[in-house]
Structure 1
Amino acid sequence: MTQPAYVQGTLDSLLTADGSVDPAAVSLADTTFVVLDLETTGGAADGAGITEIGAVKVRAGEQLGEFATLVNPGVPLPPFITVLTGITESMLRPAPPIETVLPTLLEFLRGAVLVAHNAPYDVGFLKAACARHGYPWPQIRVLDTAALARRALTRDEVPNRKLGTLARFFRSEVEPNHRALDDAKATVDVLHGLIERLGSFKVHSLGDAIEFAKAVTPAQRRQRHLADGLPHVPGVYLFRAADDRPLYVGTSKDIATRVRSYFTAAEKRARISEMLTAAVRVEAVECAHSLEAEVRELRMIATHAPPYNRRSKYPERVVWLKLTAEAYPRLSVVRRFADDGATYLGPFSSRRTAELAAAGVYDAVPLRQCNHKLSLKTKTPACALAELGKCPAPCEHEISTQEYDVRAALPFRTATSGDPGPVVDALMSRIDVLSGNQRYEEAATVRSRLVALLRALIRMQKLEALTSMSELVAARRDDKGGWEISVVRHGRLAAAATSPPRAHPRPTLDAARMTAETVLPGPGPVHAASAEETERILAWLEKPDTRLVETAGDWVSPVRGAARFATLLSRAEGASSA
């Protein structure tokens, strides 16, 4: 018979991203537990009602200390509690109040894992008492022996999960009797019995035990090994199927911790449960910092279209609002940006949004709305909009091309690349008139058009400002004292690096620039990357602690550009949602 191989774990396997030991990774044998039981007056946890506290501190099967005290609850003791516990009013009268007991109890709990049978009940009373008397509740891990028993023991073994039943099953030396210290000692024996059982479920660490107690699915429990060996670094992770197809792509500042969370009770999404069943391995792509991870995730989803990513089902199919280059220009919704002399606004995430913005333009300026290709030599019959005074009738040559350009086309061109003030003012005036005439629904419609138009104008001008630059190098401090470095070319992340702490970042920065991707200039504000990628870069650059190191050219926006209407847009969005 083949002998099993025993492997000693390394210290690195216990470390978190910041280099500290992860308490959840510590083995159960090395964990310090405080097993606690409360007796109360019954009822809801409101900060009062605790009559007795018993606690036992243990580690590796050895008892390290005890804590036991009666507590004056400050409220009358119901008779049935006296019958149940044997605790009387005369016993509680000289006992200290809970506010006197709490500091000593919290100190006894320090550095340990709190264990209780039906832990939410006991923890609820303690948290309420701390809140009532101004003591902060410690960031302590909690293990519930009742929940563990429900997962580790079958109905054939025990008819229920009451403390007395479990104490008899595990042959506890102490019989529970509704007195806090004796019940805590019985719970210690139950805990040790359950820990022996957990080994058969391959549960050996504290974190595994806490997750085991939760209601995870069989697929999550079966596939938990997929998270083994992943690094605690920022990056992208890919769940792959047996045929190596990417099933799901995600990103995190800590790959190992994030992937592990898919196998916990907190993960309840049906599509993820289905994905976990099909997955056979998880591939980690380490990144220099979180921005690179976000960008790589976007690119991988766009390339592989993994079936369990929502973005794969609803990809960013952008459209543009195009002002045609002809004698009497008109607006058209198109799929691609072309270097054809036309004026473009976008990108929009849907045709509906583009058409909403176009309606806002029509409310502000007298652009023709027909699709006819007009000739300067022949006339075309006018439509109803001309009769209503909403179109200057260029089809009948009622307006010259020069005047049409000044009145209709030029304001749109100016709004996209410079000052949208005239268009915005015209829409605001229309809203005011409609509101003054109590035509509130029509005013709300115009307001929604203004929101769509302003969003697109602000977005495009911000994108154009960054994508017009051939290179921008920026850096920001990371949590470890090093520098996160990004090289951006024409709005695309061309290189990313992190310099180590206590080292000058210049060598790392120079190496990043030397190895950065070559990005060529092109037409439009998003020719080199998706709009979403460039906007992620913008969000990173606009963080208060990000520093611009070098730029090739000036990173500027129009002085009277669309950004000056950001406050107006925020108010209009708030009014629309209300």
Structure 2
Amino acid sequence: MVRQSAAPAGVQTSISDLGTPLAAATFVVLDLETTGTSASAARVTEVGAVRVRGGEVLGEFSTLVDPGVPVPAAITLLTGITQSMVATAPPMEEVLPRVLAFLDEEPDTVLVAHNAAFDTGFLKAACERHGSAWPGYPVVDTLRLARAILPRSETRNHRLATLAAFFGVPVTPNHRALDDARATVGVLHGLIERLGPMGVTSVEELRAVSKPASRAQKARRHLAEGLPEGPGVYVFTDARGAGLYVGKSNNLRRRVRSYFTAAESRRHIREMAALVEGVTPIECATELEASVRELRIIAERKPPYNRRSRNPERASWVKLTTDAYPRLSVVRAVKDDGAPYIGPYASARDAEQAKEALLHTFPLRQCTHAFSESRRIDPCVLAQLGRCGAPCDGTEALEAYTVHADAAREAMTGDPAAVVSAHTSRIAELAGALRYEEAAALRDRLAAFLRGARRAQRLSALASVAQVVASRRSATGWETCVVRHGRLAASAVLRPGTDPTAFLASLLATAEYVPPGYGPSPRALPAETELVLDWLTDPATRLVDIDGVWTCPLRSAEAHTEMTHWAHGRASAQ
């Protein structure tokens, strides 16, 4: 692929990719007191929160809450909060907007709590009861962090009071919301200091911590030094130079470094760290190019520590054969034979489900005999059951059978309404009869069929187009890509001050030559073409030029996706 010079070293390409430095992050540390442990049955009695950034307290929030239910004696004994104390407090419907406003006061708030699932569970339940949307803040759980990095040899347990004493926090937790939130602030800072030498410096890495970095990881942190900070692909290699793992990132240096910190929690990757001796960076002009190159390299080299995309040749397709009496078959490859295909499917099981959906709708033969009007064969049991018209013994004429085959072809390549209608009506019948397992099986068949038909129709549409040129604005200019017959042929960034006409002419002249493919099999891995499709159809992408007609059927499989959701709901109803 062709690209212009990469961004200068040190240029920040994406804040989200670089991560939010811990020193710049705004944390709101929250604690709730409640009448019990069940978010659905118990209610909040007190809220305390502290906003901090860079070690400095920016604000505090505290209020008692009238729970609307009696405060149990055991809760009063634990917290000191009595019924008389909350009797004059505001109810949750008044407190909740104030809590959410405090959380939203600073952009990109990170919510922190000790045993965060408890506190967020009560807030989410309160939002649901009072008709407020839960904003979905990123959450840091100090209990989970402490369990990951503080062994029992250092602390006898990971309770808030124990950790506060361990880190020398001046505030002692006492089961009152604000004091406990203040103590959690001290624990958070102690944990962050502990994680600093482990290479954890961003919010994203902090949230990913599951256990301390191993000795092998720590010994290889230097491998990230000197790597570029732009988009690209990285290849971890062993002592013999063989590839171990391939990945991509918008910031190569930051991403590679993360593999050797406590933020890396995948067991097989931590094992791989002991074998890594080098990192080969492959700089790319755009994020799309990096994603595509990653797929191509994984498929070519099949690195042992990559779990996905290593064997695209194992994908399965459902094919309607081109015999005089066509039948459905699950195959491994698309041929230039004029037959309709749907897929690809990651497993043969998924392909078989799609095939069953078609057979549920159309009475196609399932035998594998090669027969004609001049060669008759005794009918099988399916013909006796009425699930096949028995063209094998002449019961069903070629003209009548061709009608079924043409209808199946239309469902695969055009409008799948017949398959959708046959399944949704039957699903409704089964759900009405409380036969939910059977309804769910039909739902899964329909979903598998629509998934494969949608993929094939989208792939075929783009693969038929000789050339598409499109651009998207980025921090460094306009990312511009040339796509030919579904394959990424060139990628570059049009930077400010560059003559766009000359830039485009150069890009097109040096782009890869791509011959036409056939059917839903473009001159690229299907996964690559789907990446390209997602990029092209993003609202931020602008089409610059197109050579050909790029369109999908009006009543395509994609248009019927909502019907699958409806069927899912009916089959799941209890």
TM-score tier by shorter-chain length is 0.5 to 0.7
**Residue 547 of structure 2 aligns to which amino acid in structure 1?**
A
CA contact (8 A) 2:199 2:262 kept: no
1:550 corresponds to which of 536, 545, 550? 545
2:252 corresponds to which of 240, 255, 258? 255
**Residue 323 of structure 1 aligns to which amino acid in structure 2?**
L
How far the C-alpha of 1:426 sits from its partner, in A, is 5.4
| Matched residue count | 527
* 1:85-143 deviation digits (Å, cap 9, x = unpaired): xxxxxxxxxxxxxxxxxxxxx9xxx9xxxxxxxx979xx99xx9xxxxxxxxxx9xx9x
Decide whether aligned partners of structure 1 residues 366 and 504 sit closer, same or farther in structure 2, where only a CA change above 3 A counts: same
Equivalence for 2:329: 332
Kindly indicate whether residue 511 of structure 2 is the aligned counterpart of residue 516 of structure 1. yes
CA contact (8 A) 2:427 2:571 kept: no
Q: Look up the SS of the partner of 1:486 in the other structure.
A: strand
Equivalence for 1:486: 481
CA contact (8 A) 1:393 1:399 kept: yes
Q: Look up the SS of the partner of 1:278 in the other structure.
A: coil
Distance 1:348 1:23 in 2: 38
How far the C-alpha of 1:162 sits from its partner, in A, is 9.2
How far the C-alpha of 1:505 sits from its partner, in A, is 3.8
Larger-Rg structure: 1
Q: Look up the SS of the partner of 2:227 in the other structure.
A: coil
* Structure 2, gaps ≥5 residues long: 1-7, 25-36, 38-43, 66-101, 107-112, 123-136, 155-161, 173-181
Map 1:43-442 → 2, pairs under 5 A:
215-219=211-215, 220-311=217-308, 315=312, 317-340=314-337, 342-349=338-345, 350-401=347-398, 403-421=399-417, 423-424=418-419, 427-428=422-423, 431=426, 434-435=429-430, 438=433, 440=435, 441-442=437-438
Equivalence for 1:450: 446
Decide whether aligned partners of structure 1 residues 23 and 471 sit closer, same or farther in structure 2, where only a CA change above 3 A counts: closer
CA contact (8 A) 2:18 2:254 kept: no
Equivalence for 1:78: none
How far the C-alpha of 1:566 sits from its partner, in A, is 2.5
Equivalence for 2:470: 474
Single out whichever of 283-292 and 562-571 deviates more from structure 2: 562-571
Distance 2:54 2:329 in 1: 74
Distance 1:376 1:165 in 2: 87
Decide whether aligned partners of structure 1 residues 225 and 409 sit closer, same or farther in structure 2, where only a CA change above 3 A counts: same
**Residue 433 of structure 2 aligns to which amino acid in structure 1?**
Q
Q: Look up the SS of the partner of 2:314 in the other structure.
A: coil
CA contact (8 A) 2:210 2:265 kept: no
**Residue 548 of structure 1 aligns to which amino acid in structure 2?**
L
CA contact (8 A) 1:418 1:562 kept: yes
User: Identity across aligned pairs (percent)?
Assistant: 39
Q: Look up the SS of the partner of 1:453 in the other structure.
A: helix
Decide whether aligned partners of structure 1 residues 15 and 380 sit closer, same or farther in structure 2, where only a CA change above 3 A counts: closer
* 1:353-404 deviation digits (Å, cap 9, x = unpaired): 2222222222222211111111322321111222222211111112222x23
Q: Look up the SS of the partner of 1:229 in the other structure.
A: coil
Q: TM-score, normalised by structure 2?
A: 0.68
How far the C-alpha of 1:503 sits from its partner, in A, is 4.4
CA contact (8 A) 1:16 1:22 kept: no
* 1:301-348 deviation digits (Å, cap 9, x = unpaired): 1011111111156656222222222222222222222223x5232223
If asked which structure has higher relative contact order (CA below 8 Å, sep 6+), I would say 2
How far the C-alpha of 1:555 sits from its partner, in A, is 0.8
CA contact (8 A) 2:237 2:279 kept: yes
CA contact (8 A) 1:472 1:489 kept: yes
Equivalence for 1:539: 534
Decide whether aligned partners of structure 1 residues 528 and 415 sit closer, same or farther in structure 2, where only a CA change above 3 A counts: same
* Structure 1, gaps ≥5 residues long: 1-10, 32-43, 51-56, 75-105, 111-118, 129-138, 168-173, 177-183
Decide whether aligned partners of structure 1 residues 214 and 569 sit closer, same or farther in structure 2, where only a CA change above 3 A counts: closer
